[in-house]
Structure formats: structure tokens, C-alpha cells
Chain A
């Protein structure tokens, strides 16, 4: 039953995504949580492209989330740009450039070296942002971000109402989801998954493995950056922790909770994480103890995550 439902979902992932998230704000206890799930889901989606589909475990995705947040934040608060699109453009461009450069370095090593190198570079950016207080606000965070109204041809929309912002974010995230679907369905997407399964064999087939990995890294950084940019608009502040390793850890946990290498896993994981955090906060301050323990149990006993397990099927990670 669940499997049949899952396969129906698998046939039209973008449509299903839109349907669920169109009503999502009315299903959760409060609407701010829905926006958070959407944005963190996008972040995890970007991470999942690299880890779940390409098999590269980045422990430094805070770098692109943070750069996206600072990109939008600095454009609005410091450079006073007149258009929200320019700000969001910055939250794509900055992670794209950084992702390409850092990816180039990190892909010089494989396996666990790669993970720790991504972490090291993210920490490097964190320390830089920490000390560049004139631009980033340093320890206090970047404040003074005004969310401009959206200008479309013949239309101006204010994003001040929480629901307005939610649906604005939903449009952008849906475009990203459709983009990911397009990437995965393309021959390029097939090569990504071939590299995950066996990089040597993919190379033997004549694919330029390093170049494909670098592209995947850059795409992944862009998704994460857009998510970071949206989060800067949501909070109208960029805390310096955006670049800290805890943020990288958060996206790793979310993706694995939901199911790495599955299409909806990142969103399921983000929702699970955020709702759980919300509930646990009522009972105890020791959230890391709870989530750390839950995460360890998942790694040990449910490595395919919630969505991956529900979806069942054979070991392959393809499909929704």
C-alpha cells in the first residue's frame, strides 16, 4: 500500500511537492515552522545532490548556506540594492564561485579526506566572516536587512505577511525542485549516480569524473546558497553561526533522517528535525543530546532514513 503510493509519488515528484507544500502551512502548528521547513528542505536538497546522488559527503555545506545568506544580507543591508532579485542573485553567485573554488581543492582528495577538507574550508570562511565585522557584523550578526517588495512586470508584492513570504519562497523552492528533477533526469544526472556507485567504472566509460563531481559540487552549492539567502530574508538577520560547522552538521542530520539519495528525503528530514526540535524544546534544553542520539540510532539501524525506508524497494537509491 505504502509502496504503491510511493511509486505514484515517484512518477510526478514536482507536482506532488507543489500540492503538499501548497497546503503545508495549514498542517503545522504555526506558519513560521512551514517556512523554515521549506527553506531548510532546500538546503538539504542541495546537500543531497552531492551526498545522496554523487556520493560525496560534504561536512562543510554551511559555507554555501552562509555565503548565500551573507550575499543577500550584504546586498540589502550594506549595499542597499534596490531589487530583491539582485540580492537573491548574490546569494546564488557567491556560493557558485566559492563552491567552484573550494570544490576544486577538496576534490583533489577522495573519501574521508574530502569530508574533512570541506569542513576545514567552511571553518576558514567562518573565521574570515567573524573578523570582517565591517561587512558581516562579526559576532553580533548582520543586522538591518530590509525585505524589499518583489517587482514583477506589472506587479509589486509585499512580503511582509508571513504567508506572502511563504508562497514567495515556495515558488523559488519549487523552481529549484524542478531544476533538480531536470538535472537528475538528464544524462548528467545518470553519470552522477554512476560515479556514486563506482567512480572507477564511470571513469573507464570515458566520463571526466572530476569535472562531473565539480559540477555537482557547484550545483549543490547554488541550491544551498539560495536557501541561505531565503533564510536571511526570513530572519532579516544573518548570524555568524550560519557559516559554523554546526550548520553543516544540521544539514547532514536532516538529510540522513529523511533519507539520503531520495527525492523527498531532504524535505521529510527537515520537517522531522524542525518539528522534533520544536517539541523537545518544551521539555528540555538539551536538544543536542536528543538529536545526537536519534541521529546515531538512524546511522546504526535506519541508514536509509525515514523516506528511504518507507519507499522500500530494493537497495537502489533511484526514483523519488
Chain B
């Protein structure tokens, strides 16, 4: 069977969403689908025939070639069937990160194909980068959130260490605080992920302290600059003593300072390699600054508490408080709103302008637009304090800083005089711009992540193993066939997983929940839609997070619908399997039944294959239904509604040869199929040698699914393969029949040759016996003459047979020579009749001739003699003693010879056949090679004439020979 190599797979490979490159085992590219063309920038026509190395960067080619050779010789491959992240080389020389999946596809005759699927990873890498960026923002946000609410460093700092480490994925963190008495760095707070290395690191750290310039923390303290190290085991600079260094990969240390002083050093370590890039440095700088400001605030609060405790120094302390407070404080008096007090923080807010003595309008005209003056006026008039929360105001520009929009929290409250009258207002406010900004950034990052997730068609889930609560988005719900609003429990999810995949999925989750696994979770499985009952293939990728005791606390990830990709692969396998079955035998009825069975497993609820033989009613050669119990019902349906098959699309397909996809609900003619459920029907022509010879019907009914145009394309491919198998089988049948006919001819020929030889052998052996016994002389001359005469007759017979065979071989080889000369047809016919006189009288038939005196044309008289002899000889043979009429006449420029007998006649079906080689109408017991009429036809045709027969059974036969008088120009 001429097997469908790449060309035939193109339809399916082409339909894959992922880029696909196919090559043969010699590494020559045979095919590139449209997605791959776009990815690599190559057009199929340009790249087909080039080596696979064309799409591999030069530096990777030796490794590729070695691997390919190893695969060819041993069948082993490190990457075959294992998705691998590699760069691919595009036509413009750029490299594209892809996930390469290699597989070998057995195609039957033309040898296996190597199928390379190159999943474009650029989007995923971008997504990972964004997630990484988001983690950093989360760390800042977490820090800001903790600090905003914290009153106490001993609670806040470990909390910050933990949140930052978790957000950034670090193993442990230490905050080294500067001891005010000694000036040395001592561990103030620590946090660890709970791993052995992290725990050991913290034990070692708790026992340590560093002076100015000692070890890495001391260096940071001395220089005020952050240090990042990505390769700790080789970094001699990194602080001693540290036994856990060997197991740690990276460290980052950052100074914690505020404008007034340095408070300590933050240190984080990781078991992974972390690049200390600009982003990380920036993140840590912001964190450290926030923490520094926090310490400053704590200190001022401490001072405030102390000051308020000492009534004596109240005034002084109040002023201190005013001036040193981290919050901006101002006192404004009188209806004209003149500044009486403005502390340092407030001065800073006013871009350094000295506000005391000025009105608000003079000092900070920028605040007019922010509504601050109106707000202050209201408090002054109503006495109602105003609480500001993330209140936007404009900070005026300075020489080295542009004007800026900032956010403040605080309170504006009335100041009352001794009589209770309002004399002024006090403003207390602190800046929360960082908090707002980081929250905005988180929101932005979340939005970006959401967009990335959506554009990647990913659904997301977030599962809390402690509460059992699953949070997930609409896309994730859809993976389980649920609407966006539906409630979801883990139990529902587990039940929606296909029973065959359930154990595997459970195992994968359990593995992910085991801290030893690192929490990784990657799996593909089938789901059965909870609401829509649809079957899907989904790919899940996720991760479990653990607390420091190794208990899973969060299980998050993404899922995507890979049904189409899976289906395309399934179909490729299906086509391959179908082709294998179709090629397995040359009796197509059996293989068609097997393919129909295969089709209902993969493609449709039922499958029918009908064949039509030359205008006869369609014959059902295969019928399969997903429910074997309904096959009989489907068969009955067809039997009881013949009009349906006549009128329905099946007939149209037969007539037009066009595939059809029909939605039953749209087509009343399919009403009779209602008992099987309404769905859609695909009808595809089976075509052999340009003729529609049958119809492949695929019905989607019971399952409630419908076919898509894509399905139609796929089924079309299937029907082509079936057609090709049927055509091959039919050709084989024809060839077999031709061989059978030839064998039969050889057996007849040998029988016919042996018959005269038998008489000859008997006679000759008898003579030999007479010689041997010495009785030969007793034979009389009359007896001798009669016996030799008999022998001569047999030799003539043999000669005739041999001539006939020679004619056959001449005609078959195209070497039949026609020697045209003026010949009288009437004369010729008379001679034949005379020669056959003896035979006619033996048969008891009289031959009557009706002819003009002469009829001359340009013919080969010997060949025409042969034709006429054959026709009259046949007529005598079949006449059975009745007369034979011969007529010679002219019709325009044509001579006509008619030989009519009154024998049994010839059935309609046989009238064409008798002029074929090795055929004859009579039973095989009739003597002769059966070649006479075929030779006669070829001889007449060589004269540009024609020979035909008119007959009906019981009414004799008339053979008519028409010969042009002149050979046509």
C-alpha cells in the first residue's frame, strides 16, 4: 500500500496549535506546520529537505548529532518523549527558548517519522519574570503593612523577616542590630524556613557578633553599602565562622539606616542561586529604608512617651516632640490662619520654607488646590476634627526635587482657648506615599499577572489544605465543566477527574504535599465536566508551600485546557492505527469493519460504511455503534427507512462526491434518527478512480456532542485512506481475476493441445508395438492409409491451434500486420463456405448465402478469411442442425457481412464478454481455445471496422462485421 507519509499527516500536524517539525530517521526535515513556520520564520518550501540542524544553534549541533546517532543505533534517547527546554534557531539567526518534545511516529511503509513539538516558551518566561517582579513588590508591601501597624520592633522585625523571605523565596534571615553600648552588631531577630541548613545557619548566627568592618555584616555597617553574593561556597569574603556555608548558595546583606543614623544590617540567605540584580538591590534598599524609618519612629515615640511622663519638662518636651516627631505637626492660629508652630517634618513637607509667622495661603499656596485650606477652615469654624486617610497633597518643588504628589494620614483638630472658644487648629500628619505606591504597584502587578494568566489561557487555583477552601477563577472552573458562579469543593474536583486518571492525580497531589518533593506539581489528566459532561484534557502545574515544620499551608497553581492538542495527537494515532488496519489485509470488508470499530472509540457514536456497485442499491459493509446493543436498532432503522437513505445526504454525497456536515436539528430529513438522539452527521464520499463508490457516515448523537468543521477535515482524511484501501483491494481482485482467467485459459489450451496428441500418440505407439512384435506387415494398405489419414487430420488440428496461439501472441504484442490489397469479399465468403462444406454436412446444417456478384475493397484477404471462417465455424457449432444464413451487402462506404444461426442464442450479459480474450459463452466442455471471437474482433478492428452481435436467448445469434471499403485517411 503506498503509505501516506508526511504528506498525509500534514492535515493533522498542521492543525496542531504548537509548532511541529517532522523529519525522517536520517534527520532530514520533511514537514513544518504553519505555527512552526511562524515561530522559526521558515517557509515549508524553503526548509523541507534541509537537515534538522538548520533549526539548532551551531554550538548545540555536535551534542544534537551525537544524541541523534545514539538514538538511531541504540533506540535510546535522553530527550525522546521528555519535554526539554532548549533554544531553537530561527531563520533570522535569533534564538528562541522552546520546550522540545520529541517523539517517534510509526507510519507503516515509509519508515518512522521523528516528530518534534517546539512549544514557544517566550510567553512563559516573560510570565515567570513578571511573577518574580511581583514577589519583590509583595515583599515591600508586606513590610510596609507590618510596619504601619507595628508598635514594637521585637514583634515586627521577625514578622518582616518571615514575610520578605517567603515572598522572595529565601531560606533564612537575620536582623543584626547595632548595640548602642558596644557599637557591635548582634542578632536582634531571626527567621528560618525550617530546613536543616536554615536552622544550622541561625544557630551559628545567634552565637555570633561583628564589630565595625568585621565579616560581611561589619563591612556593610562600615561602608553603608549592600552586598550580594551568588556563590557563597567560593566567596572567601563572606563572613566567618559559618559551617553551613557549604550548603548555602546565596546571601544578601543590606544596611538599615535612616537620615540620622545606621540601625543595623539585614541579612538573607538562600539554598538556591539568586542573582543580586538591580531589581533585588532596589527592593532591599526600599525595605531597609522602611525599616530604618520605623526604628526612628519608635525612638521618637519613646522620646515622646518619656517627655509626656515628665510634667516638669513638658514644655521643652512638647517642643522636642514638635520638632523631632516623625510626623508633621503644625499649629495655626486665628481666622487668618497664621502658622504659630511648624516642626522639622512639617518644614520638610513645605520644601524647607520657614512657615512660622506666615499665613497658610502665603506659606503653602499649593495646598489651596488640594482643598487643605477649606478643610482647615471647616475645622476652625465647626470644631469637628478631620481625620485624613491617604489624603493627597502636593509637596512643593525644591532646587533638586520636582513638585510631587504625596499621601498623608493624620488628624486636624481644633485648639481651644480657656473659654472653650476655638483659637486655632493643630495639624498632625505623616506621609504614607510609599504604602499607597506599593499597594498601587501590587495592584498593577496583580492586574498584569491576571492579564498574563488570561492571555495564556491559564486557570488558577489556590487551595488551603488546613481549611480545605479552594479559591479559583472562572477559567479553572471551566476546566471542570463548571460555570463561573458554581460552588466548588475538593471532593467535586476529585470526582470530576476521569476514573482512569484519578489514582495518578491523587498520587501527584500527595507527592507535592511531601516537603521532600520541593512541592512541585505537574500533571495532565482528563476531566469529565461536572455540569456540561464534556471530556477535557487539562494540564496542571503548581506548587505546594510549607510552614517551617514542613506542613503544607498553601497549594497554588495554574491549569490549562489541552484537549485540542491531545485530540490532535489522538487523531494522529487514530489515523496511523486506521492506516495500519487498512493496509493489513486486502479483503477490505473486514478491515473496514475494524476501522468502523476504531472510529466509534475515537470519533463518533456510530459509524456506517456503505458501498455502491455500479448503480446497485448501497450495500452496508460496516456498522458500529458505541453501544453494541444498539447496532441492531441502527441496522433496522436503515432497513425500515430506505427512503431516508435515498433522499438524505448520503444520496447527495454519492451524487456530488462532496463531504457534508449536517446538524440534525436543522435538517428535517434526519427526523428518523431522533430515537438515537440529535447531534450532527458527517457524510464523506469514498472515491476510487474518480468515481464515488460509497459513503462513510459518522453520527454524533447519544453523546450530545456535535462535529466541528475540524472534525470534518479529519474524517475526510480518514475517508481518503479508506478509499485508497478499497481501491487497492479492488485492483488486487481484478488482478487476481485476470490471473484466474489466464490460468483457466492455459488449462483449456493444454487440454485442447493434448486432444490431437492423444490420437497421434495412440496411433504411433501402436505402430511401434507392431514393429516390435513383428506384426506390422499384416496391416493392409487400406488400413494403413486410413490410420495415417487420421494422424494427418490431428496434425492439421494441432497446426490450427498453434496458429491461433501465435495470433494471440502477435496481437498482444502489437505485431499484427495487415496486408491490404484489392479483395473480393463475396468471392472470399464463397470459398470459406465451400471449404466448410464437409463440416456443415457433418453438423447437418445447410449454409445459405445472399450476396451481390462481387464486393471489392482494400483488405487483407487472408485475415478476412480467418474472420469469416471463425464466424461460420461457430455458427455451425451452435446451430445444432438448423440452417446458417450468410449475407454480404454494402451500406454506403461500408461492406457488411452477417452470419446468422438459429442456435441457443447469447444472453445480454455475455454479448460484450464473448469478444474478450479467454472468454466464451458456451460451457467449458465445448472444444476450442475460446480465442476465435477475440482474434476476429482484433482483425476487424485492424481494418478500422467493427464486429458486433445481436441475439437473445433461444432466438439464435447474428454476428455483423462492418468493414470500410477504403482505409480511412
Do the two chains belong together in a single complex? no
Q: Which residues of A contact B (CB under 8 A)?
A: none
User: What is B's interface to A at a CB cutoff of 8 Å?
Assistant: none
